[in-house]
Amino acid sequence: MSLIASLSLLIFFLLLSPPAMSATATDDEPPTAYELLSDYNFPPGLLPKGVVGYELDRSNGKFRAYLNGSCSFSLEGSYQLKYKSTISGYLSKDRLTGLSGVSVKVLLFWVNIVDVVRSGDDLEFSVGIASATFPLDNFYESPQCGCGLDCVNGQVRKLKLNPSVSSI
């Protein structure tokens, strides 16, 4: 898995959107953060399992998602993702910008995922100086803190990478 792929996964998790009504929510029960992502055309797997709350200012898209502590896991055994207990940024249809609280380890360095953009059936993750594009279907399942995408079998699911990796 490439550095860009790892960064993409981090951004997925950052897409925890704060409280707002969605088509799937009732008057008595606000949508989950995962349902809110769907309202903005994103898959639930951008966020890890275990979101305990969120806030969303619909006037400007500013959001905060809360985990029950920091979260980390490995993908394909060599890439590490880390989420702080609070993830924040700006959410709009097909765009997640100004992210903070999600990072990926590239070689020896931790790099922040700063933007995620949906373009058709692909998600592009940016770390500022580079970006990578992944098929949307990589993100239908939310990873779990500690073990990633396959905690039951102890296996790591490999992500598909579109051959679109670029430097800025």
Residue 45's CATH number? 2.30.240
Identify the domain containing residue 86 by its residue range.
Answer: 3-167
Tens digit of pLDDT for each residue in 129-162? 888 888 898 889 888 888 887 676 544 445 555 5
3-class DSSP state of 5:
helix
Distances (CA, A) of 86 to 6, 13, 157, 163: 19, 11, 26, 32
- Residues 30-87: pLDDT tens digits? 899 999 999 999 999 889 999 999 999 999 999 999 999 999 988 665 568 899 999 9
Supply the pTM of this predicted model.
0.74
| The total number of structural domains that make up the chain | 1
CB 145 within 8 A of CB 71: yes
